[in-house]
Amino acid sequence: MRWWRRRDREQDLERELRSDLELEAAEQQESGLSVEEARYAAVRALGNTMLVKEEVRRSWGWTSVECVAQDIRFSLRMFRKSPGFVLFAVIALALGLGANAAIFSVVDAVLLRPLPFHNADRLVEVWEDASHMGFPLAPLAPANFADWKRRNHVFEDMAALKGDLYALTGNGTPEQLEGSPVTANLFPLLGVAPILGRNFSDEEDRPGGARVVLISYSLWQRRFAGDPSIVGREIWLSSQRYQVIGVMPRGITFPEKSQIWLPLALGPREWALRDDHYLRVFARLKPGSTLATAQREMGGLAAQLAQEYPKTNTKLGAVVVSLRDQLVGNLRLALWAVTAGVGCVLLIACANLAGLLLARAAAREREFAVRAALGAGRARLIRQALIESLLLAGIGAGAGTLIAVFTLPFLRHLVPAALTAWSEPRIDLPLFKFLPFISVLAAILFGTLPALVLSRANLSTSLRQGGRVATGGSTRTRKMLIVSEVALAVVLLVGAGLLTRTLWALAHVPLGFRPEGVITLRTSLPGSSDSPYGSFLARSQFYQRVLDGDRCSGRDLGWLYDIPPAHQCWRHEPLHRRGRAAAPTGAIQRRQSPGDQCRLPTDHRCAAPRWPVLPRLGRTRCSAGRHHQRSYGSPILAGTGSARTPLPARQGRGRLVHDRRSGGRRPADGDGCERPGRDVLPVHPAGRHVRLSYAARSGRAG
């Protein structure tokens, strides 16, 4: 029988029973009984009408649905009688379920949601292992990339890119964009095709090829209003004219926040470089190849290149990382730890609620004993108690969803920048699948014990005592719940305390300079050959003019020119002492004893003479030597962040170094020398890199 016709059938059943009763009463009257006696005789003849109704309803089907509906209505009436208990239960469950829902949305976005690439589980990123220089994951030199691509047998293909900044001018306000020059096969390797236009061709990925560009979907919508005729239009990027040949799909900002992609177009000279490391390399595993197999083969290829090119490839290894692990970084373990923490919060809420339900069970023991005495089976009593728990969990889940909605904007900062374009935490279908599941699980956890206790009530004892005295079994159960709750709370508090202590320690790590009042700004100048800022000298003079023109504002200003940016590339500089033979590229020569030489790989930055963080504005002092004075050169900082074998502090003083690029010599501790060159500064106290591009401090330093 259709459940939606049940009301009509109930009315028919009621009329039929009434008709049968009237007919039976009429027959009894005909036999000589009075009207009242005939009615009582008819009732006795028909039997228990309620039992008859129950039997008829079972024949209709959907009995369980009606019983559940009755239990729900009864539970809601009970909730109205105890609003304080319901309010506390809903708040506790809302906090536990809301926290779990919010963290699940982050876990789903970062760890569970598939990447927007074809067969993303076979995509990897390949790095050089330069741990001896402090770079366990280092970009590749072009020549090394070419050799690895040609000699490997585990990858279907390999592609490369590098990061850069571009100034978009014309057609609106000038805008600085993050861009990536890429090899022509990058997007086919990823399995991504433009939604408008086409990909790069091999001819465009060569020196002298056409200047073309792919733009992101967000840039197309924001800057060009989604104009479908964008393909073929010319735009200006860093004073160069480029033709737009395609628009990438929504959410594609690979590798991190790129808005434009250009052909890499390296020439023979660049492809031969082994001491300039700036390429990020991606590859696709062949079917059947594993990450471990790829790691072994690439490690062997790195060892071969180290033997063939000892001057540049000594101690260089290879590291193969799955693309998801590379994009997620170290966040995986942190997310699972936070998930465990919010899980403990939910368990504590369940233990609290189970204790409250057990206390209520002692007060409702007589109620359930009466229902059992009237014929309710144990299964029916357990179902009634569990339905109350499920209703509480459902209301708590609704309130928890609201908490998750207000929490998600803050949790979006946990998602790595490389994933934010297509994988932000949000209220979506997976969350609505997870929330009912965990709500039912919570209801079972906190509702099963009270339901079992109520269903095992002793009828004679409960009816005699009126349900006012708790049984010994329920008392012991509540004590066990309290112990479990306290244990979980202690674990959670200890973990939170350790995390707080770690964060405090990280926030108070000595930086080697005073960051208060320092603001930073990143700028870029066109570096093409036909640009007026194509040379380092021209760029440094430009920044110096900007700083000199702003000194009247009462601020201390300085600039830092990253050569190369620490997160994108590194190289070895050929520096050597005066009076000795030139050092091999990638080493600094120093004498430890007569006849003994030590090769020190270097990583360096170029800074303005009055760089405000190191050392003047930050009030820092070098361990030995002096502060860097005004010159057209820049310091070379040796320390734990730049070389594993730092320059000895006292040995570095007063020594002469020679820079092939400037052709000048100057002493490391000489005063008043204004000839262009490079100063060798001894070890900085913190031994750390300063990775700021432009800094200013409000107020003038004394």
Report, as an integer, the average pLDDT of 532-545.
78
Name, in order, each residue with C-beta under 8 angstroms of 660's C-beta and a sequence gap of 6 or more: 574, 582
Residues 201 and 265: their CA atoms lie apart, in Å, by 11
Share of the chain above pLDDT 90, in %: 34
- 157-166, 187-196, 378-387, 403-412: which has the minimum mean pLDDT? 378-387
Contact call for residues 518 and 619 (beta carbons, < 8 A): no
**Judging by beta carbons within 10 Å of its beta carbon (0-12, 13-18, 19+), is residue 114 exposed, middle or buried?**
exposed
- Which residue has better confidence, 85 or 551? 85
How much is the pLDDT for 424? Answer: 83
- Which residue has better confidence, 535 or 653? 535
Residue 638 has pLDDT above 70, yes or no: no
How much is the pLDDT for 464? Answer: 61
Strand, helix or coil at 331?
Answer: helix
Residues 504 and 508: their CA atoms lie apart, in Å, by 6
- Which residue has better confidence, 54 or 286? 286
- Which residue has better confidence, 525 or 413? 413
- Which pLDDT tens digit goes with each residue over 137-154? 999 999 999 999 999 999
CA separation, residue 11 to residues 7, 49, 312, 680 (Å): 6, 14, 94, 100
Residue 109 has pLDDT above 80, yes or no: yes
Query: If you average pLDDT over every residue of the chain, what do you get?
Result: 76
- Which residue has better confidence, 118 or 550? 118
Q: pLDDT category, 682, cuts 50, 70, 90?
A: very low
Torsions phi, psi for 4 (to 5 deg): -75, -5
How much is the pLDDT for 134? Answer: 83
Name, in order, each residue with C-beta under 8 angstroms of 53's C-beta and a sequence gap of 6 or more: 13, 17
Strand, helix or coil at 526?
Answer: coil
How much is the pLDDT for 170? Answer: 81
Residue 631 has pLDDT above 60, yes or no: no
Q: pLDDT category, 37, cuts 50, 70, 90?
A: confident
Residue 518 has pLDDT above 60, yes or no: yes
- Which pLDDT tens digit goes with each residue over 356-404? 888 887 777 777 777 777 667 778 888 888 999 999 999 999 999 999 9
- 74-83, 216-225, 507-516: which has the minimum mean pLDDT? 507-516
User: For residue 280, which of 402, 418, 77, 151 has the smallest C-alpha distance?
Assistant: 418
- 119-128, 263-272, 277-286, 412-421: which has the minimum mean pLDDT? 412-421
* Residue 240, strand partner residues: 237
How much is the pLDDT for 651? Answer: 44
Q: pLDDT category, 648, cuts 50, 70, 90?
A: very low
* Residue 197, strand partner residues: 246
How much is the pLDDT for 263? Answer: 95
How much is the pLDDT for 545? Answer: 79
How much is the pLDDT for 645? Answer: 39
- 27-41, 76-90, 216-230, 306-320: which has the minimum mean pLDDT? 27-41
- Which residue has better confidence, 515 or 2? 515
Q: pLDDT category, 101, cuts 50, 70, 90?
A: very high
What's this model's pTM, rounded to 2 decimal places? 0.71
How much is the pLDDT for 615? Answer: 42
Q: pLDDT category, 502, cuts 50, 70, 90?
A: confident
How much is the pLDDT for 283? Answer: 97
Residue 195 has pLDDT above 80, yes or no: yes
DSSP output for 72-110:
HHHHHHHHHH-HHHHHHHHHHHHHHHHHHHHHHHHHIII
- The DSSP call for residue 279 is B
Share of the chain above pLDDT 70, in %: 72
How much is the pLDDT for 549? Answer: 67
- The DSSP call for residue 261 is E
Residue 686 has pLDDT above 50, yes or no: no
Instruction: Give the containing element (helix H, strand E) for 482.
Output: helix 472-507
How much is the pLDDT for 123? Answer: 96
Tokens of 210: 């056409």
